[in-house]
Structure formats: C-alpha cells, structure tokens
Structure 1
Amino acid sequence: MLYQLNIQNFAIVKFLELDFQHGMTSITGETGAGKSIAIDALGLCLGERADSGSVRNGANKAELSASFNITNLPQAQQWLAEHDLNIDSECILRRTINHDGRSRAYINGSPVPLFQLKCLGQLLVAIHGQHAHHAMLKNEHQLTLLDGYADHQPLINKVQKQYRNFKNIQSELKQLEATQEERNARKQLIEYQVEELNEFDLKAGEFEQIEQEHKLQANSAELQQSCQQSLSLLTEDETNIESMLNQAVQFADGLAELDPKLKAVTEMLNESLIQVQESCGEIQHYVNGIEQDPEYFAQLEERLTKAMQLARKHLVTPVALPLHHQKLKQELASLSQAENKLDDIKEVLQQAQSEYQSAAKKLSQSRLRFAKELNKLVTASIQELNMPKAKFYIEVNHNEQSMTDLGSDQIDFQVTTNPGQPLQSLSKVASGGELSRIGLGIQVITAQKVSTPTLIFDEVDVGISGPTAAVVGRMLRTLGESTQVFCVTHLPQVAGNGHQQMLVNKKVIKGETETSMVPLSESKRIEELARLLASDKITEHALANARELLQKA
C-alpha cells in the first residue's frame, strides 16, 4: 500500500509530505483548490509523461517520491528481483523534473528508464479517472475489464504464445510463397543444366587426362621420329654411343691393370654403358607402344571441344566443370527440398492454428463463465444505484477465423434501462448520468478482483447525486475494507463514507499561490462535510446532517 507521498515544487505545491493509511481515504476541497494534484504527482511517480509545466513557477526542478509497503506483494517483489533492484518491505519510486521538461526516474535509489517505473507502478496502483466511463464504451477496454476481473493473464499468456508461434510460421510460409515463382524458374533452368552435364558426365581429373592424351595423339608422328633418331645415335649409327662406350671401357680396363687408381673410372664407364643400354630399351618399348588411331583422336577432339564449350557456357574453367556440376546438383536438391518444405510448413501452420484455436477456446469459455458472474453483480449494483429496472449483459462472440493476441472474442457491454426494451450496446442506450452510474458500478466490482493494492477514484462520481451518491459511498467504503482506496470527490455522501478524510486548500502567501493537503480530525471533518452539504454558509442543520453521515458510515 501507499503510505507516504512527498511533493516539492510541483504545479502550485511548494512542499507537501502526506502520510496515508489503509482503508478508504476521501479527498475533498473547494473547486479549483487542486484536489487532483496529489493524484497527478503520484501518476508521475508511476511513470506518466511530464513536461516543464509540472515545475512550480520560479523553481529549478520538481521532486516527487512515493513510498509503498510491499510486504504482501509477491509480484512486486519478484519484479524488483528480476531487475536487480533493492528488495525490502519498502519500495520508493522517485521522479525529478527539470524546468526544461527533462526528467529522471529512480526505484529504491537506483536510476531506471521511465518505462520501468510504469511497469512496476501497474503492480502497485490503479487509477480510475473521472472520464473512465467513456473509455468503457470501447470494446477493447471492455475486454480489458472482463479479463482483469477474471484474472485471465495466465490464459492470455498461453494464447499469446500460440499466436506468436502461428504468426512466425505464417511469415515463413509467406516468404517461401513470395519466392516460389522465382524458385521454380531457377529450378527449371538448373534441371536443364544438370541434365546436360549428366549426359556429358565429365569426371574429376578427366579433362586433364583427355588433354594429355589428345596432345600425345596429335604429336605421335613427331614422337616416333624423335625416338628413332635417339635410338640411331645410341645404338644404330656406325659411330654410336654404345659402341664408343664399349671401347672406352676396354681401354679403361687395361689402364686399371697398370694402375689400380683408375679402377673407379672403369666402374663409372661401365655404369654409363648400362644406362645407355637401358635407355635404348625404354625408348624402343615406348616407340612400340605408340599407336596412331585417327578414330580415337577424333573422339578425344570431340570430347575436349565439348568440355570447353560447356565450360564457357557455365562461366567456369574446363577443369572446374565437374565441381560446378556437383554444386548445381546440390542446388537442385535444395530447391526440391524447399518445395517439400512448403508443403510441410503448410501442415505445421495448420497445427499451429489448431493449437491457437484450442487456447483461444479455453479463454473464451472462461470469459463466458465470468461474464455471467459479472452480469449478475453489475445488474445488482446498478439497480442499487437508482436504476431499479436496469439489466446488464456482456455479450461474448467467439469467431475462430478472428485471430489476435488476445484471443478470438468480440466483447460488447450491453444494457437495458427500462422494462420491455431489448439489450443494446452501452454506447447506444445509456445517458450521461446512467453511464456514470453503470461505469462506476463496473469499476467498483472489477476493482475488487484486481490484485493492485491501491485504487484511486478521481471524481468518478460526476453526474451522481442524492441517494445514489450514498450508495456509491458505501460501495467504495466496502472496497476499502479489503484494499487501500483514495477517492477525490465533491459529494458529502461519498466523502462521509471514508475511513479518513483529507482536505485540499489553496491560499495566497506573499503573492504566491500554494496548495496544501491535510488530514481532518473528526470535528474538522464534520465542518467540511457540512460545507459540502450547505455550500458557503454552514448551518447547525448542515452540521447535524454531517454528523449523521459519519454515524451511518
């Protein structure tokens, strides 16, 4: 609960330090005194946007802080733990606003982004403004009220999870479908190219081999002639190398007998003779293996030419053609897989849609159940608010084809205010005064189920008076028995039901306007209620009525 609010140099407030209690606190004051200033200051502590107009004239900055006891608020404690902020029984939200409109936010002394103030603030305070009943005319807000009353967040989380999954798969499917035409065209081209390369079927290393064999066939006559000339020099001419080496070996043998030092020369000459003889054998064997085959040469020529043509066509070298062939086959397989994936993802999307619809259906069924509960409670409440024949009804229309992150339901608050009239949408039936009463009844009832520990009603009783106001006051007081309630009001019947009351007063000191806010003792409270009852002139009758109001409360 909120137990203290500090305000410095905010609007027309110079300094206020306000201590609050549990239960219902009524806030009253003359028109224009600034009854909503404390609410506005608290709103800034809760993360609302600020501007330079928030700073008191002549001051450099405004400073605002709100202190909460969170001993019994596990959600707030968990949020603080998740964001590595100090956890204690006390939580302090602080805001400073410079005269140029810039502001800083703090939680338990640690600087934080503004949105974190807002996130934590939603777990601490709920503010119902004087125009909240107009927001109630919107179906989106009606849905929020129903879900808040029913504590549907766990079910909504499941729906949102399935919705995100469905949208992600749907997005992937759309991307695949968007590129399908381009992918089909590419596949047709590659199928033709792969078929052509399959037919040619050039193996890795084959082009180099063909090129070498083609070179040999093209130069076979020259090879034969050169080899024959080599053989002539080595063995066949009159003065051939083999014959001369034989003579040199014989001379060396004779010399080695005379001088053993020449024995090594004899060995080297013998080795040379042997190598010449072996070379001749190799050359003769090579010559015998040379075959001039015009038909085979033509085949080599054709395959070599085809390989070079295909290489130019595919913008690669002939040597790289087999690798390019493999890459094209891999791409073709990938494109075929994409087609299969398209079919698979359609099935996955149907499954995701089915899972979403199942979660949305459970949420819808729960909405129907709690709508029936709210129908009875709100009907009883507005009948008590001087609309004895009124009937309230929440229409829940479930449409499986409508998929949103909040489910597949369309919510419509309907009412009939007179017997014999059919139920119609709230916006079409209720007058301004009726709308205020219906809206207030709904807010009070839904607030009882919301876990927020502090509720603020800022002049929500506009358009209500007389006996109806007394009923509103009792409703808010009952609500204050279980949670902390603040009510800014101008109605004595409402103010008198508060467990405590604070008075807002505006005065001019040394030419400067200042607003103050003070708790009222019982005697001062009677005087304030009498003022509200009798306007400017407080009579004994008004004082008696004020005492009676407090006694009834």
Structure 2
Amino acid sequence: MLTELHIRHFAIVKKLDIEFTNGMTAITGETGAGKSIALDALSLCLGSRAEASLVRPGCDKAEISACFSVAEDSAAAQWLQQQELDAENECVLRRVISKDGRSKAWINGSPVPLAQQKALAPLLVNIHGQHEHQLLTRDDHQLLLLDSFARHQQLIEQTAHTYRQWAATEKQFRQQQQAKDDRVAQQQLLEYQVQELDEFALQEGEFEQLEADHKRLSNSRSLSESSLFALNALYEGEHNNANGLVQNALSRLQEAAEIDKQLVPVTELMQQAMVHIEEAALELRHYQEAIDVDGSELDQLEQRMTQALKLAKKHQMAPAQLYQYHQQLKQQLADLHAADEQNEQLAEQRQQLREAYRKQAKQLSQSRQQAAQQLSDKITQAMQQLNMPHGRFAIAVEHSDSAPATAKGTDHIEFQVTANPGQPLQPLSKVASGGELSRISLAIQVMSASQQTVPTMMFDEVDVGVSGPTAAVVGSMLRELGQQCQIICVTHLPQVAAKANQQLQVSKQTNGKETETQVTPLDKNQRVIELARLLGGDKVTDLTKANAQELLAS
C-alpha cells in the first residue's frame, strides 16, 4: 500500500508531505484547489510522461517520491527481487523532472530506465480516472476489464505465445511457398548440371595431373632418347663413360693418398660421386623400362582434357576449378531438397500450432464466459443499488473457431445494458445517458476492482453525475472495497467523503505573487467542517454541521 508521498516544486505545489493509511482515504477540496495533484504526481512516479511545464515556475526541477509497503508474497515483491531492487518489504519510487523536460527515475535508490517504473506500476497501484467511463464503449477496454476480473493471465499468456509462434511459422511457410516456383526451376537446372558433372566425375586435382601426363606422353620419344643418352654417358657407354673415368681417377688418387694424406678427403668425395652415378644410372634404367610411347593412352588423355575444357568453358571458369564448382552445385541441390523437406515440416508444424491456438483460444473463451456471467451479476446488483432499480447488465462473449486469430484470442466482447423494465439488452454506447453511464462506469470499476490483487486503488472523481442517496451507496461500496485493499478517492461528494477512514483536504493559498497547494489531514472536528462546506457551499451553518455529523455517524 501507499504510505507516503513527497512532492517538491511540482505544478503549483511548493512542498507536500502526505501520509496515507489503510482502508479508504477521501481527498476533498474546493474546485480548482488541485484535488488531483497527488494522483498526477504519483502517476509520474509510476512512469507517466514528463513535461517541462510540470516544474513549478522559477524552479530548476520537480521531485516526487512515493513510498509503498510491500508484502513478502506479493507480485511487486517478487518483481523487485527478480530485478535485484528489493529493500525489505519497502518500495520507494522517485522521479525528478528538470525544467528542460528531461527526467530521471529511481527504484529503492537505484537509477532505472523509465520502462522499469512502468513495468512495476501495475503491481502497486491501479488508477481509475474521472473520464474512464468514456473508455467503456471501446471493445479493447471492455475485453481488458473482463480479463482483469477473470484473473486468467496464464491462459492469456499461453494463447498469445502460441499465436506468436503460429504467426511466425505461417509467415515463414508463406515465404517458402512463394519461393517454391523459383526453387523448382533452379532445382531442375541444378539436377541437369550435377548429373553432367557426375558423369564426367572429375576428381580433385585430376586436371592438373592430366596436364602433366599429357605433357609427358606427348614428349615420350624425346624423353626416351634423352634418358638413354644420359644412361650411356654415365654408366653403360662403351668408351669414356663417367663411371669408368671416375673409377680410373679414384684408383690413381688412392695410390697417391698413401703418400700424401691430404688427398684422402678428395678420394672420399669421389667414392660418393661413384655411388651417386650408380644410383642415377639405376633410376635411368628403371625410367627407360617404364616409359610408354603408346599412342592410345595419349588419345584417351587428350579426349578427357578436351571434355574438361568444354565443361570449364560452359561454366565460365578455369578447368582446375571444375571439381570445387561440382561440389558447390551438389551442396546447392542438397539445400534445395532440404528446403522442400523443411517446407513439409513447416506445413505440419503450422497445422499443429493452429490446432493448439484454437484449443487455447476456446479455453480462454470458456473462462471469459464464466467470468462474464459472474461480473454481469455483480454489476447488475451494483446498478440497482445505484438508483437504477430495473437496471440489468450483461457481457456477451461471442466465440468462433473461424474468427480471425489475434494474440488475445478470437472472442468478440460487448457490454450490454438496459435501464428500464421491458427493454431488451442493447450495446452500452447506444442506450446509456450521461448520468447512467457514470453510474454504470462506477459499478463496473468497483466490481471489477474487487477481484484484483493490486494493493492500492485510486479513484479520481469517478462519482461525477451521482448525488443524494446514490452517493451514499457509492461511499459504502468504496469503504467496503477498502477492506480488501487501500482505496484513495478524490471526491466532491460529502456522502462519499464521510465513508472514508481518512480524509485529506486540499486547499490553495496565494499571497498575490505566487500560488501554493497544500494538503491537510483532518481530524474528526475538521472533517465535520469540511463535510458541512461540501453540503452547503462556502457557507457553513449549524444545519450543515448537524448534517455532516450525521453523515459521519452513519
């Protein structure tokens, strides 16, 4: 519940420190005194839009702090713990607005984005404005009121979650379908290209090897002659081959080395040379035996190279790139096949999500229909108490499996009312007069609020258009509601104010140069005077005081 509200340099307020109690608090005052100033200031702490005009003239900034006591098991306490902003069953909201319109926000002393204050606000306070009855004819507001009364938030979240999944899958499926024709043409081309390259079956690095083999085979005769000449010169020639010459030279040097040891390293080098000559000759002999001058193999090589060159030219690339290109085409074809499979999976998933959504939307509708009956009975009863003895209220919930899907289900909600006997139920916007609409609005707000778990409810002159015995009923309703949660009510009706557990008086002081609003808690005697003023205007008489005392006593 709201325990304290501190306001500095806000609008015509210079300084206000207000303490609130349990139960019902009535805020009264003269017209124009600024009775709604506390609600306006609190709205800023709850994340409403800030403007430079809200700063008191001549001041650099406006500052508002609101203190709440928070139960350990409340939704607000859980939210604060999740955000690591908890402070032992207390919540302090602070907002500062500079004269240039910029603002800063704090929760329990920690600076926070304004979005966090907005997220916390519905868990602490529910504010009903004096123009809220104007929203009652809107379908979205009627649905919001019904869902709030039904308290089936989990059903709403499940339905919305499934709807978002279904919508995303539906979008993806349609995109896939739109691309399907393009994929078919592309797939046909790829299948032809891949088949052609599969049949050719060029391996990685094969074209480079083809080029090397072709070069070798086309020059096989020259290679044979060159290798034979080298073999004869090194080892097998009849006269003066390298091996014989080196051997003769080595024999002479070995004899000389016995005389001069300096020649020993030379003889070792020549021995190594003989080994290398023998090894080279052996390799040349093997090369001679292996060299092939068969023209048929050369023809086959030339045919494969020619085919590779044709395919490379067809695909506008170097022949050496054909293998990698072939692999890329196969991967693209595999991706297209996978896309077709994915589309089939999407179609199945789309159908499953559609069925799940329709099922959840139907469950949500059933819950709404049950809540609609309960709330209709409560509002009908409240209307009759509010001087509409023949009033009857109903909430029509129309559900259709074929209705367009939304995140909030497929229901159409309509508030219907009749104020006179024998008249059928008709849409609220068509039958209610201004005064009737005010009383119906009040009945709806009070009855729907009775099901909410928000610790503080604020009503800003929602009793406009109500007077006499009806006003006393309004006061009784609010006081009874105050047994479930804290009620703060701005009112101009003495019958309503008299029912409050606490009464605050708003007054406006001026010295001719500046104006200032003050809020004063009233004791019993002061309440009598204030209620008498509300009853009789500015003139307080013994009669109005007696009437005020009677109101308080009742």
Q: TM-score higher than 0.5 here?
A: yes
CA distance in 1, matches of 2:458, 2:330: 70
| 1:161–1:276 distance in 2 versus 1, CA, 3 Å | closer
Tell me which amino acid in the other structure corresponds to 1:505: S
Do residues 156 (structure 1) and 156 (structure 2) align? yes
CA distance in 2, matches of 1:235, 1:148: 107
**Which 5+ residue runs of structure 1 have no aligned equivalent?**
none
Tell me which amino acid in the other structure corresponds to 1:4: E
Q: TM-score, normalised by structure 1?
A: 0.91
Task: Tell me which residue corresponds to 2:504.
Answer: 502
| Matched-pair contact (CA < 8 Å) for 2:250–2:271 | no
| 1:73–1:97 distance in 2 versus 1, CA, 3 Å | farther
Q: CA deviation at 1:435?
A: 0.8
Alpha-carbon deviations, 1:344-377, whole Å to 9, x = none? 1110111122222222222111111111111111
CA distance in 2, matches of 1:543, 1:380: 33
Q: CA deviation at 1:227?
A: 4.2
Tell me which amino acid in the other structure corresponds to 2:463: D
Range that drifts further, 274-283 or 184-193: 274-283
Task: Tell me which residue corresponds to 1:428.
Answer: 430
Range that drifts further, 270-279 or 441-450: 270-279
CA distance in 2, matches of 1:195, 1:97: 72
CA distance in 1, matches of 2:243, 2:165: 94
| 1:89–1:282 distance in 2 versus 1, CA, 3 Å | closer
CA distance in 2, matches of 1:434, 1:17: 37
| Matched-pair contact (CA < 8 Å) for 1:234–1:240 | no
Task: Tell me which residue corresponds to 1:365.
Answer: 366
| 1:239–1:426 distance in 2 versus 1, CA, 3 Å | same
| 1:522–1:238 distance in 2 versus 1, CA, 3 Å | closer
Tell me which amino acid in the other structure corresponds to 1:365: Q
Task: Tell me which residue corresponds to 2:527.
Answer: 525
CA distance in 2, matches of 1:226, 1:370: 105
CA distance in 1, matches of 2:253, 2:106: 112
Q: CA deviation at 1:284?
A: 5.8
| Matched-pair contact (CA < 8 Å) for 2:247–2:274 | no
Q: CA deviation at 1:250?
A: 12
| Matched-pair contact (CA < 8 Å) for 1:128–1:458 | yes
Task: Tell me which residue corresponds to 1:319.
Answer: 320
Task: Tell me which residue corresponds to 2:541.
Answer: 539
Range that drifts further, 36-45 or 291-300: 291-300
| Matched-pair contact (CA < 8 Å) for 1:9–1:15 | yes
| Matched-pair contact (CA < 8 Å) for 1:391–1:417 | yes
Do residues 412 (structure 1) and 409 (structure 2) align? no
Q: CA deviation at 1:178?
A: 4.3
| Matched-pair contact (CA < 8 Å) for 1:249–1:270 | no
Task: Tell me which residue corresponds to 2:100.
Answer: 100
Instruction: Tell me the secondary structure at the aligned position of residue 354 of structure 1.
Output: helix
Range that drifts further, 287-296 or 182-191: 287-296
Alpha-carbon deviations, 1:402-431, whole Å to 9, x = none? 322222222111112223332221112211
Do residues 390 (structure 1) and 401 (structure 2) align? no
Tell me which amino acid in the other structure corresponds to 2:412: Q
Task: Tell me which residue corresponds to 1:346.
Answer: 347
Instruction: Tell me the secondary structure at the aligned position of residue 43 of structure 2.
Output: helix
Range that drifts further, 241-250 or 61-70: 241-250
| 1:263–1:425 distance in 2 versus 1, CA, 3 Å | closer
| 1:101–1:243 distance in 2 versus 1, CA, 3 Å | closer
Task: Tell me which residue corresponds to 1:207.
Answer: 207
| Matched-pair contact (CA < 8 Å) for 1:252–1:265 | no
Instruction: Tell me the secondary structure at the aligned position of residue 123 of structure 2.
Output: coil
Q: CA deviation at 1:468?
A: 1.8
Task: Tell me which residue corresponds to 1:45.
Answer: 45
Do residues 142 (structure 1) and 142 (structure 2) align? yes
**Which 5+ residue runs of structure 2 have no aligned equivalent?**
none
CA distance in 1, matches of 2:318, 2:265: 55
Instruction: Tell me the secondary structure at the aligned position of residue 450 of structure 2.
Output: helix
CA distance in 2, matches of 1:469, 1:263: 133
Count of residues in Structure 1 that have an aligned counterpart in Structure 2 = 552
| 1:301–1:8 distance in 2 versus 1, CA, 3 Å | same
Structure 1 segment 9-408 matched on structure 2, within 5 A: 9-71=9-71, 74-230=74-230, 233=233, 239=239, 241=241, 248=248, 283=284, 286-287=287-288, 289-400=290-401, 401-408=403-410
Range that drifts further, 381-390 or 232-241: 232-241
| Matched-pair contact (CA < 8 Å) for 1:245–1:273 | no
Instruction: Tell me the secondary structure at the aligned position of residue 136 of structure 1.
Output: helix
| Matched-pair contact (CA < 8 Å) for 2:254–2:267 | no
Tell me which amino acid in the other structure corresponds to 1:117: Q
| 1:507–1:275 distance in 2 versus 1, CA, 3 Å | closer
Give the CA RMSD over aligned residues: 3.1
Q: CA deviation at 1:329?
A: 1.3
Range that drifts further, 228-237 or 28-37: 228-237
| Matched-pair contact (CA < 8 Å) for 2:232–2:241 | no
Q: Percent identity?
A: 50
Q: CA deviation at 1:380?
A: 1.1
| 1:229–1:527 distance in 2 versus 1, CA, 3 Å | closer
Q: CA deviation at 1:282?
A: 6.0
| Matched-pair contact (CA < 8 Å) for 1:50–1:101 | yes
CA distance in 2, matches of 1:371, 1:523: 45
| Matched-pair contact (CA < 8 Å) for 1:252–1:266 | no
CA distance in 1, matches of 2:387, 2:42: 33
Alpha-carbon deviations, 1:207-236, whole Å to 9, x = none? 233223322321123234334544665688
Instruction: Tell me the secondary structure at the aligned position of residue 123 of structure 1.
Output: helix
Q: CA deviation at 1:495?
A: 1.6
Q: CA deviation at 1:317?
A: 3.8
Q: CA deviation at 1:277?
A: 7.7
Task: Tell me which residue corresponds to 2:474.
Answer: 472
Q: CA deviation at 1:304?
A: 0.8
Instruction: Tell me the secondary structure at the aligned position of residue 210 of structure 2.
Output: helix
| Matched-pair contact (CA < 8 Å) for 1:45–1:94 | yes
Q: CA deviation at 1:387?
A: 1.6
| 1:189–1:198 distance in 2 versus 1, CA, 3 Å | same
| 1:266–1:83 distance in 2 versus 1, CA, 3 Å | closer
CA distance in 2, matches of 1:152, 1:243: 104
CA distance in 2, matches of 1:82, 1:472: 39
| 1:301–1:529 distance in 2 versus 1, CA, 3 Å | same
| 1:162–1:237 distance in 2 versus 1, CA, 3 Å | closer
| 1:299–1:509 distance in 2 versus 1, CA, 3 Å | same
CA distance in 2, matches of 1:289, 1:92: 96
CA distance in 2, matches of 1:56, 1:236: 117
Alpha-carbon deviations, 1:417-471, whole Å to 9, x = none? 2233322211122111111111100000011111111111111011112222222
Q: CA deviation at 1:265?
A: 9.7
CA distance in 2, matches of 1:208, 1:321: 11
| 1:39–1:296 distance in 2 versus 1, CA, 3 Å | same
Tell me which amino acid in the other structure corresponds to 1:484: Q
Range that drifts further, 356-365 or 286-295: 286-295
| Matched-pair contact (CA < 8 Å) for 1:506–1:513 | yes
Q: CA deviation at 1:13?
A: 1.6
CA distance in 2, matches of 1:128, 1:265: 114
CA distance in 1, matches of 2:522, 2:278: 133
Task: Tell me which residue corresponds to 1:549.
Answer: 551
